[in-house]
């Protein structure tokens, strides 16, 4: 069975390198496509979903922004299951600083390159291994600042009330981007951060394997 992976903002399929699926499952990565200037997240998700073979049973796994996109795709294609990693299924789970950023229109005032630079600086103070820090830094450098600027706006303007079913949600207790206290995960990884998919890959993989049984 195919398991479709969707990465987070300023990231790509490389961040899933430590995630291992059980036998019988095939990982298929839905790489980001170009977005229209004022495109809504729901519309973008619908176009990205064109890459899915909906004639077969499948599962969705979305990381961070990818989980939001997966939640939108699940409305259209009813997967066997949707798994969110360090994400939220609805805008109602956003922390207060997301709402503040929206009202201040920061996504329109600041260029995408600023967010790339901030993400690179943050890597100096995170818990990943030196090799993973280097990989993440390269992934960020490779990201498109135009896409980042669009994505930030699309996230802040996202409105979704529908939670996919069935839904599994793995979240870190120390997620600094999307605090766990604001959302309702089905599984919590103690001391896991927003990028626990990298440094806690074995634990995340074990939980995913249990969900796919």
- pLDDT (tens digit, 9 = 90+) per residue, 181-206? 999 999 999 999 999 999 999 999 99
> Minimal CA–CA distance to 139: which of 82, 27, 47, 63?
63
Strand partners, 5: 29, 61
Instruction: Please say if the pLDDT value at position 47 is more than 90.
Output: yes
Reply yes or no: is the peptide bond before residue 166 cis, omega within 30 of 0: yes
- Residue 204 has, within 13 A of its CA and on its CB side, a CA count of 28
- Residue 107 has, within 13 A of its CA and on its CB side, a CA count of 21
Among the CATH numbers 3.40.50.1820, 3.90.550.10, 1.10.3720.10, 3.40.190.10, which is that of 2-211? Answer: 3.40.50.1820
CA–CA separation, 38 and 5 (whole Å): 25
**Per-domain boundaries in the chain:** 2-211
- Residue 149: which pLDDT band, with cuts at 50, 70 and 90? confident
Mean pLDDT within 10-31: 95
Instruction: Please say if the pLDDT value at position 114 is more than 50.
Output: no
């Amino acid at each position: 069975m195919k398991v479709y992976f969707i990465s987070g903002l300023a990231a790509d399929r490389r961040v899933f390198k430590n995630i291992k699926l059980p036998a019988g499952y095939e990982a298929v990565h839905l790489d980001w496509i170009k977005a229209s200037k004022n495109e809504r997240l729901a519309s973008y998700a619908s176009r990205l979903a064109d890459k899915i073979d909906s004639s077969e049973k499948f599962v969705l796994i979305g990381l961070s922004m990818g989980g939001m996109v997966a939640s939108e795709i699940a409305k259209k294609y009813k997967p066997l299951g949707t798994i969110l990693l360090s994400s939220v299924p609805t805008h109602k789970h956003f922390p207060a600083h997301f709402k503040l950023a929206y009202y201040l229109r920061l996504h329109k005032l600041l260029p995408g390159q600023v967010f790339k630079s901030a993400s690179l600086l943050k890597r100096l103070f995170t818990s990943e291994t030196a090799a993973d820090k280097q990989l993440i830094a390269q992934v960020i450098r490779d990201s498109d600042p135009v896409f980042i600027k669009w994505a930030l706006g699309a996230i802040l303007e996202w409105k979704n009330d529908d939670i996919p079913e069935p839904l599994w949600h793995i979240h870190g207790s120390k997620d600094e981007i999307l605090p766990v206290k604001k959302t309702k995960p089905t599984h919590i990884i103690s001391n896991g951060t927003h990028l626990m998919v990298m440094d806690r890959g074995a634990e995340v993989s074990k939980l995913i394997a249990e969900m796919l049984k």
